[in-house]
Structure 1
Amino acid sequence: MAATSSESRNRSNPVHSFNKILKSSKSRSTGVEDSLKKLRGLILVEGIPAGADPTLRPRIWKLLLGINECSASTFLQYVERGPCDVREKIRNDTFRTLATDRGFKERVREDMLVRLLDAFVWKNHDRQERNQLAFTYVQGMNVLAAPFLYTMPSELEAFFCFSKFIEESCPLYVQPTLEGVHRGLKLLDRCLKIVDRELYDHLRSKNLSAEIYAFPSVLTLCACTPPLDQVLQLWDFLLAFGVHLSILCVIAQLLLMRDEVMKSASPMKLLRNFPPLEALPVIGIAVTLVRDLPQDLYDELVKHPYEVYQ
């Protein structure tokens, strides 16, 4: 009877469920794709439990990103080169990264951010000639690096996760022109016009487009809105289902403050700083909004962070 009771508790324990999927991802019979499908479903339904197992989120993020190995010698080669050619630009941003979050500041020192970003620039300096897209340091990259340094057990793992994420999930967001960001802002306006025409018209009547009020949120995939624990929960969702959904997550935040915005004669005063992030309601609304979008618009949304227009 005791064993049965223990098994029952394990089945109802989200940590156990996640660990079971992570273990099965290494099995030849199950395969990674099947494990990823189950993992995404569990993230959506349960969410990654906070605090119960500090190794859980790092392992899940690495599986979602397809990170199997992290070469210490490769990372150290980049670090040993020292400051990259845009170090001054990096330092102008790193000192203010999530500056109001005490937990982040206690865990992630500025020199860690600088080192990771320097190494990223060196890594892509070596491979620019082989790539259609060039990568260097651009505005907002410091905030995109922050969740990886906070979450991962080591700078090494944070570097490889961040690099893979930038280069494959949202490469157009970090081009010198911030092409993906500007595409995302235009898509935000188009999506909002469909899902809430009244709110869209009210903002436009005040000459407020997404370019004006949503730039920081789109640029950082919502990571600029505290608290950090909610950002991490939202990023679990984005890493599982795609960074394109961050556009719908920004709209979800607008909808959660809709009444105040609609009553305001000067909505920008409210939109300058979004209310504290609440990941679960935002995710719930974002998932619902997907169903409201025409297929061709949703296809554009999916591709906008990475597809280069010819």
Structure 2
Amino acid sequence: MSSATAHSFNKILNQPKVSSKSRSSGDIDDGTKKLRRMILVDGIPSAADPTLRPRIWKILLRVNNLSAETFLRYVARGPCEVREKIRNDTFRTLATDRGFKERVREDMLIRLLDAFVWRNHDRQETNQLGFTYVQGMNVLAAPFLYTMPSELEAFYCFSKFIEESCPLYVQPTLEGVHRGLKLLDRCLKIVDPELFAHLRSKNLSAEIYAFPSVLTLCACTPPLDQVLQLWDFLLAFGVHLNVLCVIAQLLLIRDEVMSSSSPMRLLRTFPPLEALPVIGIAVTLVRDLPPALYDELVKHPYEIQTLA
């Protein structure tokens, strides 16, 4: 089954109009739509073909320009001004995952994050938002270094992802994260008022129990192979859906949470991630949300709110 699915993915990826430089935007959209649909229905069969995930992620993120010269120029500049802050976090990145530790060394993480800070140091004048290193960025970089065949590809995918998919998540105030947590409470109140009321009766808001999961897009909950499967979905359909994926994880342990007199004990560490049931629930939750709330959810990782 998975080799047949891998074949179907390869068929789309190898179509001239999906891989050639001269393709029209209509062709790209068509190819990407097919990829998205297959990711939702079948998932990426990375065990059958390990080259699929990196290739698909690059297409979903629209990463075409991989200038080794530019990347090496950033690396050659050495430690950035927040190197100490980076070093305080990198050593504990996915520390309990042996497979990750074997494939991704700490110096690779430091190099990528240093280079990212240098890149944005140079682009500050042209960017509406500035970027430096903030808490959680080490965990957001980890899946790219683990998945991509080279540091070069990981760097460009990570940069594009941060700057375009969730720029407000990595501002010094973590504005997008806090907005996501408020939206999580509002969505939970609609999709499961009883669970919401139970948590509220224990003074538990999303800000208290869901901060790590929203900050890291669930990458803080092992195992890593399930995180990558969840990220296939988030990269295909939008980072905003992570808020619903966190609610889905709550709903999977709903009975225990409802019967617990101190639910925070359960919520301090979510059970091991299971990507498929979480994605399945998240997709159905979309239908329960009022359009205006869903629109807010879609925009919260990137839209700068201006005060009227």
Please tell me whether residue 26 in structure 1 is matched to residue 22 in structure 2. no
> Aligned to 2:45, which of 43, 49, 65?
49
Provide Cα deviations, 1:21-59, integer angstroms capped at 9, x if missing partner.
111212548721100000000000000013111111000
Please tell me whether residue 89 in structure 1 is matched to residue 89 in structure 2. no
Q: Secondary structure at the match of 2:278?
A: helix
1:99 Cα deviation after fit: 0.2
AA matched with 2:10 = N
The 2-side partners of 1:151 and 1:297 are apart by 33
The 2-side partners of 1:251 and 1:198 are apart by 13
The 1-side partners of 2:34 and 2:52 are apart by 15
Equivalent in the alignment of 1:140: 136
Structure 1 stretch displaced more, 61-70 or 184-193: 61-70
Equivalent in the alignment of 2:241: 245
1:68 Cα deviation after fit: 1.3
Please tell me whether residue 110 in structure 1 is matched to residue 106 in structure 2. yes
Equivalent in the alignment of 2:197: 201
State how 1:94-173 maps to structure 2 within 5 Å.
94-173=90-169
Structure 1 stretch displaced more, 60-69 or 28-37: 28-37
Equivalent in the alignment of 2:213: 217
Provide Cα deviations, 1:64-87, integer angstroms capped at 9, x if missing partner.
000112110000000000000000
Equivalent in the alignment of 1:14: 5
Measured on the aligned residues, the alpha-carbon RMSD in Å equals 1.2
The 1-side partners of 2:289 and 2:120 are apart by 36
Structure 1: tracts of 5 or more residues without a match: 1-8
The 2-side partners of 1:131 and 1:165 are apart by 15
The 1-side partners of 2:126 and 2:33 are apart by 33
1:265 Cα deviation after fit: 0.4
Provide Cα deviations, 1:162-219, integer angstroms capped at 9, x if missing partner.
0000000000000000000000000000000000000000000000000000000000
Q: Provide the TM-score with structure 1 as the length reference.
A: 0.95
The 1-side partners of 2:110 and 2:164 are apart by 22
The 1-side partners of 2:72 and 2:241 are apart by 34
The 2-side partners of 1:198 and 1:35 are apart by 42
The 2-side partners of 1:259 and 1:307 are apart by 36
The 1-side partners of 2:125 and 2:74 are apart by 18
Equivalent in the alignment of 1:4: none
Structure 2: tracts of 5 or more residues without a match: none
State how 1:210-289 maps to structure 2 within 5 Å.
210-289=206-285
Q: Secondary structure at the match of 1:130?
A: coil
Provide Cα deviations, 1:211-233, integer angstroms capped at 9, x if missing partner.
00000000000000000000000
The 2-side partners of 1:241 and 1:163 are apart by 18
Q: Secondary structure at the match of 2:93?
A: coil
The 2-side partners of 1:83 and 1:26 are apart by 36
The 2-side partners of 1:208 and 1:70 are apart by 45
Structure 1 stretch displaced more, 27-36 or 215-224: 27-36
AA matched with 1:163 = S
AA matched with 1:108 = V
AA matched with 1:136 = T
Equivalent in the alignment of 2:178: 182
Q: Provide the TM-score with structure 2 as the length reference.
A: 0.96
Q: Secondary structure at the match of 1:184?
A: helix
The 1-side partners of 2:276 and 2:194 are apart by 25
The 2-side partners of 1:50 and 1:276 are apart by 20
